[in-house]
């Protein structure tokens, strides 16, 4: 596992502060490189985590009906601009052969994938693929809705706009009734 190089981040931040015309030795900025390095260590702690690892713990339960965890909050960083995007993830799956996982495992997988430089589209697919591979359910649906600061703070400057991405696996691909049920439950 690669560790985050805090001193390298600190130096890079000092260079950025200087490059924008500020004084890195000014009182308010003096400890900023250290604070940013510490923050990046936390914000990017998912770089070395595999979300599939969260699904090693599996329970056998006589349940093959829908499991849905909705409104899982997350924060991530846009890999194109290194500014945050944040929102909610919704995860639904139809267990096969009674193979279920702890509900917190779903939230932990979202967190691990979010805590790295990321694209929302990729994040959605990685989570769905991890669940599909490890739990082997009848179907999986992951929906992520997020606001991107790269659209809010810069460029088009449209605060409040949300991006919604989906990843669907297994029998949910062609089961429009089940997909509709999931969407209705998410909206409720």
Are 105 and 55 in contact by the 8 Å Cβ rule? The answer is yes
Under DSSP, is residue 53 helix (H, G, I), strand (E, B) or coil? helix
Which tokens belong to 152? Answer: 């809010």
Catalytic residues: 78-81, 120, 148, 150
Instruction: Give percent helix, percent strand, percent coil of the chain, each to the nearest 5.
Output: 40, 25, 30
Are 150 and 82 in contact by the 8 Å Cβ rule? The answer is no
Local structure of residue 48 (DSSP, 8 states) = T
């Amino acid at each position: 596992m690669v560790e985050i190089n805090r001193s390298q981040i600190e130096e890079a931040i000092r260079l950025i502060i200087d490059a924008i015309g500020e004084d890195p030795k000014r009182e308010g900025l003096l400890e900023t490189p250290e604070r940013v390095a510490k923050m990046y260590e936390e914000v990017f702690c998912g770089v070395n985590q595999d979300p599939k690892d969260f699904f090693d713990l599996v329970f056998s339960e006589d349940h093959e009906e829908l499991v849905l965890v909705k409104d899982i909050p997350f924060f991530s960083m846009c890999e194109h601009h290194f500014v945050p995007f944040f929102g909610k993830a919704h995860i639904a799956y139809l267990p096969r052969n009674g193979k279920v996982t702890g509900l917190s495992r779903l939230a932990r997988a979202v967190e691990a994938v979010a805590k790295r430089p990321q694209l929302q589209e990729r994040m959605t697919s990685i989570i769905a693929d991890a669940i599909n591979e490890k739990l082997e359910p009848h179907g999986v649906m992951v929906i992520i809705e997020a606001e991107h600061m790269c659209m809010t703070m810069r460029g088009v400057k449209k605060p409040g706009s949300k991006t919604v991405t989906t990843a669907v696996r297994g029998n949910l691909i062609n089961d429009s009734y089940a997909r509709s049920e999931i969407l209705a439950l998410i909206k409720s």
